[in-house]
């Protein structure tokens, strides 16, 4: 009987293991016929949107337009197999395209064979970094890029992206510059040479996209613009008037193969691969979480790294460039009715059929129209509303946002994001170095103790001061906490002269923290004030036991603040009794925040 049961459960265990590696096995067998129409509609809609966007973003990356189409076929199919998000629309996106151009431009001439091969190599490297993080379950690494930093970086990148397309809208030639302000200067100098017909096409394209965005949101605005602008080129013979077009696009399918480049190129792209992974995954996981919560299903962040890693590996092997999940296309995908990754499969097939049968039609597509598509797409990336929200919720987070925004505009994409991450971490360390603390008093008719600044009805006790530290004690803040405790002890001049350290907010302590606590105990043992601890958490208690402090404090460690006060024999005093403990209220308010 037991043998039979174990045999019957073994296949299901294997299926679960396979479904964890290949999420398609978890949803495909349960696919319902009622979802076909919704997924088909969403797939067709995103396909119509991705064809012009893919070509536009390839142009932004400095690549031929067909490379954007190649990056929109096999990678999209592969993500549908390995990804866990049902609505995420994977493919070329604006920020990753800009970062690709930033990484490759110093190495090769834009559009050259070496440049195209380097883009494929970069996609392979980005995929490898994703897989390394996903298989190693190291997805937490992306947390080094805080939300406020990402908002600032994205806004700056959007401005850089938008301005990089001005040359296409004006019909001018501008040499590539390393810094944004240099590009602005070059555009300003060349603006007088703008081609009038190109300007008309560019401005009209932006106007059409904005109008459709406002009054015809469900219509594929980019596709409408592509068809309209191609018709205008033929109707008014705009090429003869100086309007540049994308030219001939190969109708062949992407070839499978490894890019033929040396170790020097590989070494030059390592930093870019990590930065693109960091930024691309942050963008992707952020939008994927929104729709996972909305549709109530689980999203595995580490499996998402694997899914996006496999998609990028496929992009590199099939002549594409780095891809990730995009905000705008995912929103449209959900609105259009996507219920499962079948919608992504339909999208890939639409792009595939376009490459095989329709690419000759795109030869007359104006570059100004593609530039307009990019400009309108990145406008919403400058999220002023979210910046105001961050300022309202936590003003100190503006430091990371402003540093990210300024550094990206002045130093460039890679250095900007590096400076922003460092600044974000410094802000965290600054907060940790001066943790919040509070004087505690007992709430009348209870055994609960609360911050006397927030609970004015709380009562304190003669000669007993209860202080709570709300942070782990580590090398970052150990000296500050030591000084705080000793200063508080000096102010107690009424018997029984006891300082109770409420450890309920301390969830960890390192060797430096133990050393600081040892020094506090030593100095107070030589003074009239006695130190007691209470509400010590398990991890901290374990560390204290491994040191000699647990034995030194024998009889002075209590389960709760109330137990400590009762043991010591404190008597309640009126709410405004900080003076009875020998402490001036103004000093207390100055030393402690009111949280």
Task: Give the 3-state secondary structure of residue 106.
Answer: coil
**Confidence at residue 575, expressed as pLDDT on a 0 to 100 scale:** 52
Phi-psi region of 256 (alpha: psi -120 to 50; beta: other; left: phi over 0): beta
- Residues 408-441: tens digit of each pLDDT: 899 887 788 788 778 778 878 888 899 999 999 9
The answer for residues whose C-beta is within 8 angstroms of residue 237's C-beta and 6 or more apart is none
Q: Write the DSSP string, 203-267.
A: HHHHHHHHHHHHH-TTS-HHHHHHHHHHHHHHHHTGGGGT--B------SPPPP------HHHHH
Q: Token digits for 580? A: 């009875």
State how far the alpha carbon of 426 is from the alpha carbons of 18, 106, 422, 501, in Å.
42, 31, 6, 28
**Confidence at residue 15, expressed as pLDDT on a 0 to 100 scale:** 61
- End-to-end Cα spacing for the chain: 61
Q: Write the DSSP string, 514-571.
A: HHHHHHHHHHHHTSS-EEEEES--HHHHHHHHHSSHHHHTTT-EESSHHHHHHHHT--
**Confidence at residue 587, expressed as pLDDT on a 0 to 100 scale:** 44
Q: Residues of the chain whose pLDDT is less than 70?
A: 1-17, 19, 142-144, 570-595
State how far the alpha carbon of 356 is from the alpha carbons of 225, 250, 252, 351, 389, in Å.
21, 9, 6, 9, 47
pTM: 0.75
Residue pair 325/283 in contact by the 8 Å Cβ criterion: yes
**Confidence at residue 580, expressed as pLDDT on a 0 to 100 scale:** 41
**How many helical (H) and strand (E) elements, i.e. helices and strands, does the chain have?**
26, 8
Preceding omega of 496 cis (within 30 degrees of 0):
yes
Q: How far is CA 142 from the centre of its chain?
A: 7
Nearest CA to 46 out of 289, 435, 308, 342 is that of: 342
**Token pair 């009562």: residue:** 459
**Token pair 């400076």: residue:** 419
Residue pair 239/364 in contact by the 8 Å Cβ criterion: yes
Residue pair 440/450 in contact by the 8 Å Cβ criterion: yes
Q: Token digits for 340? A: 């499962």
- Residues 288-314: tens digit of each pLDDT: 887 888 888 888 888 999 999 999 999
State how far the alpha carbon of 441 is from the alpha carbons of 450, 459, 490, 560, 587, in Å.
6, 5, 19, 13, 17
- Order of strands across the sheet that contains 449-451: 449-451, 437-442, 464-469, 498-502, 530-534, 557-558
Burial status of residue 574 (CB atoms within 10 A of its CB: 0-12, 13-18, 19 or more)? exposed
Across the strands, what pairs with 313? none
Instruction: Report the run of H or E that residue 384 belongs to, with start and end.
Output: helix 384-393
CA distance 476 to 396: 19
CA distance 510 to 529: 25
Residue pair 578/465 in contact by the 8 Å Cβ criterion: no
**146 φ, ψ (degrees, to nearest 5):** -70, 165
Rg (CA), the chain: 31
Q: How far is CA 176 from the centre of its chain?
A: 28
Q: What is the DSSP letter of 356?
A: I
Nearest CA to 380 out of 451, 416, 441, 330 is that of: 330
**% of the chain at pLDDT higher than 70:** 92
């Amino acid at each position: 009987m037991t043998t039979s049961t174990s045999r019957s459960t073994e296949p299901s265990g294997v299926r679960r293991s396979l479904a964890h590696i290949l999420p398609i096995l978890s949803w495909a067998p349960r696919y319902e016929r009622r979802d076909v129409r919704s997924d088909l509609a969403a797939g067709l809609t995103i396909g119509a949107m991705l064809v012009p966007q893919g070509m536009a973003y390839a142009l932004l990356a400095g690549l031929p337009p067909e490379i954007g189409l190649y990056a929109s076929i096999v990678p999209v199919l592969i993500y549908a197999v390995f990804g866990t998000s049902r609505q995420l629309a994977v493919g070329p996106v604006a920020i990753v395209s800009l970062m690709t151009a930033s990484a490759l431009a110093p190495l090769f001439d834009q559009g050259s064979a070496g440049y195209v091969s380097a883009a494929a190599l970069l996609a392979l490297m980005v995929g490898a970094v994703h897989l390394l993080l996903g298989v190693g379950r190291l997805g937490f690494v992306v947390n080094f890029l805080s939300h406020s930093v990402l908002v600032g970086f994205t806004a700056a990148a959007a401005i850089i992206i938008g301005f990089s397309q001005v040359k296409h809208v004006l019909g001018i030639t501008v040499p590539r510059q390393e810094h944004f302000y240099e590009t602005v200067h070059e555009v300003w100098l060349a603006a007088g040479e703008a081609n009038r017909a190109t300007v008309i096409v560019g401005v009209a394209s932006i106007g059409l996209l904005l109008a459709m965005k406002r009054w015809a949101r469900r219509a594929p605005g980019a596709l409408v613009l592509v068809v309209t602008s191609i018709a205008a080129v033929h109707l008014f013979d705009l090429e003869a008037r100086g309007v540049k077009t994308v030219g001939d696009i190969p109708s062949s399918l992407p070839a499978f193969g490894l890019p033929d480049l040396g170790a020097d190129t590989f070494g030059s792209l390592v930093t870019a691969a990590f930065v693109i992974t960091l930024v691309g995954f942050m963008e992707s996981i952020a939008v994927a979480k929104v729709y996972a919560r909305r549709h109530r299903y689980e999203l595995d962040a580490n499996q998402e790294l694997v899914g996006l890693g496999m998609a990028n590996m496929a992009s590199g092997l099939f002549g594409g460039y780095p891809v990730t999940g995009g905000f705008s296309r995912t929103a449209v995908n959900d609105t259009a009715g996507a219920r499962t990754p079948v919608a992504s499969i339909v999208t890939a097939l639409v792009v595939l059929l376009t490459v095989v049968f329709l690419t000759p039609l795109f030869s007359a597509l104006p570059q100004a129209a593609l530039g307009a598509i990019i400009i309108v797409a990145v406008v919403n990336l400058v999220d002023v509303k979210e910046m105001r929200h961050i300022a309202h919720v936590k003003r100190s987070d503006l430091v990371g946002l402003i540093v990210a925004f300024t550094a990206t505009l002045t130093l460039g994409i890679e250095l900007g994001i590096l400076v922003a991450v460092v600044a974000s971490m410094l802000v965290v360390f600054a907060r940790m170095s001066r943790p919040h603390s509070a004087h505690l008093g007992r709430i009348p008719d209870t055994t609960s103790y609360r911050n006397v600044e927030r609970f004015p009805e709380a009562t304190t006790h003669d000669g007993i001061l209860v202080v709570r530290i709300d942070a782990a004690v580590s090398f970052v803040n150990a000296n500050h906490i030591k000084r705080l405790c000793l200063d508080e002890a000096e102010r107690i001049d009424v018997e029984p002269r006891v300082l109770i350290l409420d450890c309920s907010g301390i969830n960890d302590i390192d060797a430096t923290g133990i050393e600081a606590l040892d020094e506090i105990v030593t100095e107070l043992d030589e003074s009239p004030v006695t130190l007691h601890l209470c509400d010590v958490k398990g991890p901290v208690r374990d560390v204290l036991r491994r040191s000699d402090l647990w034995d030194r404090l024998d009889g002075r460690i209590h389960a709760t603040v109330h137990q400590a006060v009762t043991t010591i024999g404190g008597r309640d005093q009126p709410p405004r009794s900080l003076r009875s403990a020998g402490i001036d209220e103004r000093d207390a308010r100055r030393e402690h925040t009111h949280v």
